[in-house]
């Protein structure tokens, strides 16, 4: 059915994912046999109501959680069963995360927040040796998201849009292959949200960055190339947006 | 890198962390201060306890003693000559010290120790305790210079000041006697004739300090040095008395300061009664002149001991063998070259001095209960103080737990960014360690400063509360003694750091085990 050489190749896939959370006495079956292939360089959005399991799917794909049944495959290799250390490294190098509530570290400045994935990646000694280069890289990213004037500010001194930009810069600084965005506009007004989506679009087209975005906003979801609709833990449909 | 950065930021931005630093700091500072004071105290105490005692003492069970000191010394030297630096014979016996003060007789039970001053000075410090060899301080100023040069061997002669005092006193007494006699002659009918006629005997009661008085009649002192020779001559008995025996402290009503009232001083005569050797022992008494007052700082010694001249005591007690003319002694005081070998020496001496007749003891064994009490005291204090730091440790635990709960989301973020569980754990462990390091560092500085300025601090507290915290009349210390041992400071600091780290292990593990998704969901 599939032609092996047909580009764009499958980069990340979810195979028959099942996930159940325990909430007090009852069990909630959040995902029920979800299969999804993500192509390299595509902008995919996952849409669904609250509780449809879209965030859980994103977390499973990004190795923040592990499925009860099923597999996560990166470039055809299973990654969800790897040892914790290796999964930590994959999270650090392959995936970039953007969250609804920005999740910047309040004690650190914008620059330090952006640098944090690199600090985590390198040992203190190596980081110290390469700090100039790494800082330049972080500043470049900050410039790209348009926050150069906010380098030394703390998150609580920024507006919501700025915080989300800083979070995006942080997710990009480690040069990930896949960006996972969980409701990146959910906490922003429409106008600012639009700006964020434009930024994501630009990154997608300029850097060939694979982006998976979870949203409940139809208008936002429409900006992606493919739209996956999730309902009650199952994929309702996958729709390709008309080119244009 | 993020660990250090975050750890440092958490330290700087968490006011609550300051609380745990302060608790560690106070614990460390208290422990250093108390330990320094305790060890200062106990080393001073040991010095003082040791002070008048020789390193090793051989005592006979019987007050009769054993004959021939030279022979005994030879026996001791035979078995342990390599270890012995000096050895001196003494006679120890209980007695009574009687002296007149302000018209009334004062009697005190004492331990009489007959010594040869030169020999005694060789087996232990004597000069540093004798009043005439040391300057007198008042309010940290020298109020009186030392009366004798340090080069002078301790002896049974009066110092110049004491000689003058004695002359003046005897002259005054003579004048008083003459006045009294004159009054009596002019006024005979009003007074009992007996008092007027028996002039040489009666004043003894009225004027008790008369050097020629001999209330018991069995001492040879009065008879031998008959009056015409030298009216100022000293008694044959000479004594060093403990300061506690002849003085009492009182509060100066004008200045409110504690002062010492001397009831008898060098140059005065006292009466000493004791028991004779032989069976059964009978009463013996003689007169003696106070040559010096000693102050060892140990109340037990200062208000109990009287050192007297050995030969006089032996004569009074009849410790002379009529056949050989050899004298008897009750104990030998020995100074060792190296005190660490004391137990070895004691063993050797025990083999030479049979236990049915003699006891051989080191000074530590003699004062065992007292030294043990000091040790137990400081051990208990250390346990209590360690509990203070343990309390600080639980404080850290609680505070850390709060911080971990507060930082749950951040921990989730860090995990999402690829931080490992061990990395998260080490943030909190190093946080705990830095709290410990900073806390104990500041604590050490604070503690050492406190120890250094402890007397000034005591003055301030005294001034504020109006109550003397450290009363020198109780402790005999002019100021609070302290001794800082580097090993103690280091172990306290390390202990505090260890406790801080241990206290952070539990919260750190909790942080490390957090599930990233659940942590992120908390908002």
What is the pLDDT confidence band of residue B446, given thresholds at 50, 70 and 90?
very high
Taking contacts as CB-CB distances below 8 angstroms, the residues of chain B near A104 are 413
Say if the Cβ atoms of A107 and B9 lie within 8 Å: yes
Interatomic CA distance for residues A122 and A128, integer angstroms: 9
pLDDT at B472: 65
Domain that holds residue A160: 42-65+83-240
Give the model confidence (pLDDT) of B284-339 as tens digits. Answer: 888 888 888 888 877 788 888 899 888 888 888 888 777 777 888 888 888 888 88
Same domain, B228 and B360: yes
Contacts of the segment A131-139: beta carbons below 8 A, 24+ positions apart: A135/A111, A137/A173, A138/A111, A138/A114, A138/A169, A138/A173, A139/A111
Q: Indicate yes or no: CB of B520 within 8 angstroms of CB of A127.
A: no
Does B418 reach chain A within 8 Å, measured CB to CB? yes
Q: How far apart are CA B124 and CA B335, in angstroms?
A: 7
CB contact under 8 Å between B520 and A62, yes or no, is no
CB B91 within 8 A of CB B65: yes
Q: Which residue has the tokens 């004391």?
A: B342
- Residues B356 and B380 occupy one common structural domain: no
- Rounded mean pLDDT of chain A? 86
Contacts of A124 in chain B (CB under 8 A): 1, 3-4
Of A99, A107, A124, the CB nearest to B6: A107
Provide the pLDDT for residue B522: 62
Query: In the listed set B340, B366, B392, which residue is the last one of a domain according to the structure?
Result: B366
Of residues A49 and B11, which shows the higher confidence score? A49
- String of DSSP letters for chain A: ---TTPSSPEEEEEEEEEEEEEETTEEEEEEEEEEEEEETT-EEEEEE-TTSSHHHHHHHHTTSS--SEEEEEETTEE-TTS-HHHHHHHHHHTEEEE-TT----TTS-HHHHHHHHHHHHS-HHHHHHTHHHHHHHHHHHHHHTT-GGGTT--GGGS-HHHHHHHHHHHHHHT--SEEEEESTTTTS-HHHHHHHHHHHHHHHHHH--EEEEEES-HHHHTTSSEEEEEETTEEEEEEEPPP-
Three-state DSSP state, B393: helix
CB distance B13–A107 less than 8 Å? yes
B252 shares its domain with B160: yes
Q: Are residues B172 and B190 in the same domain?
A: yes
Give the closest-approach CA distance of A128 to chain B in angstroms: 8
Bond into B521 cis (ω within 30) = no
- If one counts the domains in chain A, the total is 1
pLDDT above 50: residue B188: yes
In a domain, A36, yes or no: no
* Mean pLDDT to the nearest integer, B149-178: 85
pLDDT at B473: 59
User: What confidence category does residue A6 fall into, taking pLDDT thresholds of 50, 70 and 90?
Assistant: low
The two three-digit tokens of residue B256, written as one number = 């409110």
Across chain A, which distance is largest between two alpha carbons, in Å? 54
**Is the domain of B169 the same as that of B252?**
yes
Alpha-carbon gap: B515 to the closest alpha carbon of chain A (Å): 8
Percent of chain B with pLDDT over 70: 89
Determine whether the interchain pair B419/A120 forms a contact, defined as Cβ–Cβ distance below 8 Å. yes
- Verify cis geometry, omega within 30 degrees of 0, for the bond prior to A8: yes
Distance CA A182, CA A160 (A): 15
Chain A residues touching B421 at Cβ < 8 A: 84
pLDDT for B225 equals 45
Tokens of B212: 């020629």
Domain that holds residue B465: 2-48+370-521
Residue B427's pLDDT is 86
**Under a CB-based contact definition with an 8 Å cutoff, are residues B296 and B290 in contact?**
no
Is residue A29 domain-resident?
no
Domain endpoint, select from B315, B333, B366 = B366
- Flag if B1 and A128 touch (Cβ within 8 Å): yes
The torsion of the CA quartet B435, B439, B442, B446, rounded to 10 degrees, works out to 170
Residue A165: give its domain's CATH number.
3.40.50.300
A100 falls within a domain: yes
Question: Are B146 and B171 in a shared domain?
Answer: yes
**Which of A195-204, B41-50, B279-288, B472-481 shows the lowest mean pLDDT across its residues?**
B472-481
**Residue entry with tokens 């069995």:** B218
User: Domain total for chain B?
Assistant: 2
One domain, residues B267 and B343: yes
Cβ-Cβ contacts under 8 Å between A and B: the total is: 75
Query: CB contact, 8 Å: B415 with chain A?
Result: yes
Percentage of chain B lying above the pLDDT 90 cut: 5
Instruction: Give tens-digit pLDDT for B413-440.
Output: 888 888 888 888 988 888 888 888 988 9
Pick from B10, B409, B418: CB nearest A120: B418
Residue B288: is it exposed, middle or buried by C-beta count within 10 angstroms (0-12/13-18/19+)? buried
Q: Are B417 and A170 an interchain contact pair (Cβ–Cβ within 8 Å)?
A: yes
């Amino acid at each position: 059915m599939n032609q092996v050489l047909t580009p764009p190749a499958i980069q990340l896939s979810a195979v028959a994912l099942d996930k159940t959370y325990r909430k007090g006495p009852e069990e909630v079956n959040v995902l029920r046999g979800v299969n999804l292939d993500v192509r390299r360089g595509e902008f995919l959005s996952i849409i669904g109501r609250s509780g449809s399991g879209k965030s859980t799917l994103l977390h499973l794909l990004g190795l923040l959680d592990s499925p009860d049944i099923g597999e996560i495959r990166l470039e055809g290799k299973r990654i969800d069963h790897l040892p914790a250390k290796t999964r930590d490294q994959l999270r650090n190098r392959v995936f970039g995360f953007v969250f609804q509530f920005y999740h910047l570290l309040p004690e650190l400045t914008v620059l330090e927040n952006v640098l944090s994935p690199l600090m985590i990646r390198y040992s203190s000694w190596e980081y110290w040796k390469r700090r100039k280069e790494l800082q330049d890289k972080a500043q470049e990213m900050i410039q790209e998201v348009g926050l150069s004037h906010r380098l030394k500010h703390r998150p609580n001194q920024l507006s919501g849009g700025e915080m989300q930009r800083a979070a995006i810069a942080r997710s990009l600084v480690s040069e990930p292959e896949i960006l996972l965005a969980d409701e990146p506009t959910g906490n922003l007004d429409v106008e600012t949200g639009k700006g964020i989506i434009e930024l994501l679009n630009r990154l997608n087209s300029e850097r060939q960055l694979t982006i998976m975005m979870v949203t409940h906003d139809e208008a936002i979801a429409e900006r992606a190339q493919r739209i996956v609709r999730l309902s009650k833990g199952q994929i309702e449909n996958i729709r390709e947006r008309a080119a244009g | 890198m993020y660990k250090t950065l975050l750890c440092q930021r958490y330290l700087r931005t968490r006011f609550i962390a300051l609380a745990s630093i302060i608790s560690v700091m106070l614990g460390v500072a208290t422990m250093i201060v108390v330990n320094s004071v305790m060890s200062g105290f106990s080393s001073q105490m040991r010095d003082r306890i040791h002070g008048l005692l020789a390193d090793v003492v051989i005592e006979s069970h019987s007050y009769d003693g054993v004959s021939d000191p030279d022979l005994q010394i030879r026996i001791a030297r035979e078995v342990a000559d390599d270890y012995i630096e000096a050895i001196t014979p003494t006679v120890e016996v209980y007695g009574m010290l009687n002296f007149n003060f302000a018209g009334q007789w004062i009697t005190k039970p004492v331990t009489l120790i007959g010594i040869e001053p030169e020999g005694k000075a060789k087996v232990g410090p004597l000069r540093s305790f004798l009043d005439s060899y040391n300057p007198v301080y008042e309010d940290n100023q020298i109020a009186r210079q030392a009366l004798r040069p340090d080069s002078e061997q301790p002896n049974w002669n009066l110092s110049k000041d004491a000689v003058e005092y004695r002359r003046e006193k005897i002259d005054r007494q003579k004048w008083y006697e003459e006045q009294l006699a004159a009054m009596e002659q002019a006024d005979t009918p009003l007074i009992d004739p007996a008092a007027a006629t028996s002039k040489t005997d009666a004043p003894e009661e009225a004027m008790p300090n008369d050097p020629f008085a001999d209330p018991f009649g069995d001492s040879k002192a009065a008879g031998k040095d008959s009056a015409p020779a030298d009216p100022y001559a000293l008694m044959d008995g000479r004594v060093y008395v403990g300061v506690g025996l002849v003085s009492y402290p009182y509060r100066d009503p004008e200045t409110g300061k504690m002062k010492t009232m001397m009831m008898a001083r060098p140059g005065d005569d006292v009466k000493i009664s004791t028991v004779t050797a032989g069976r059964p022992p009978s009463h013996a008494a003689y007169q003696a002149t106070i040559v010096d007052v000693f102050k060892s700082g140990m109340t037990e010694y200062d208000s109990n001991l009287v050192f007297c001249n050995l030969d006089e005591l032996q004569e009074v007690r009849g410790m002379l063998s009529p056949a050989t003319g050899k004298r008897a002694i009750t104990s030998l005081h020995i100074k060792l070259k190296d005190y660490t070998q004391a137990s070895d020496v004691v063993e050797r001496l025990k083999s030479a001095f049979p236990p049915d007749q003699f006891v051989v003891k080191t000074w530590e064994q003699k004062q065992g209960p007292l030294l043990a009490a000091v040790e137990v005291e400081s051990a208990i204090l250390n346990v209590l103080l360690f509990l203070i730091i343990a309390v600080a440790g639980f404080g850290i635990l609680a505070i850390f737990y709060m911080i971990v709960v507060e930082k749950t989301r951040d921990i989730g973020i860090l995990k999402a960014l690829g931080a490992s569980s061990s990395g998260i754990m080490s943030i909190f462990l190093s946080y705990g360690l830095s709290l410990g390091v900073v806390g104990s560092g500041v604590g050490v500085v604070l503690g050492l400063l406190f120890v250094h300025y402890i007397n000034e601090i005591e003055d301030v507290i005294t001034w504020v509360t109006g109550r003397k915290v450290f009363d020198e009349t109780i402790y005999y210390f002019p100021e609070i003694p302290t001794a800082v041992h580097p090993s103690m400071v280091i172990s306290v600091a390390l202990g505090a750091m260890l406790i801080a780290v241990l206290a952070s292990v539990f919260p750190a593990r909790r942080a490390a085990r957090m599930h990233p998704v659940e942590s992120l969901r908390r908002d």
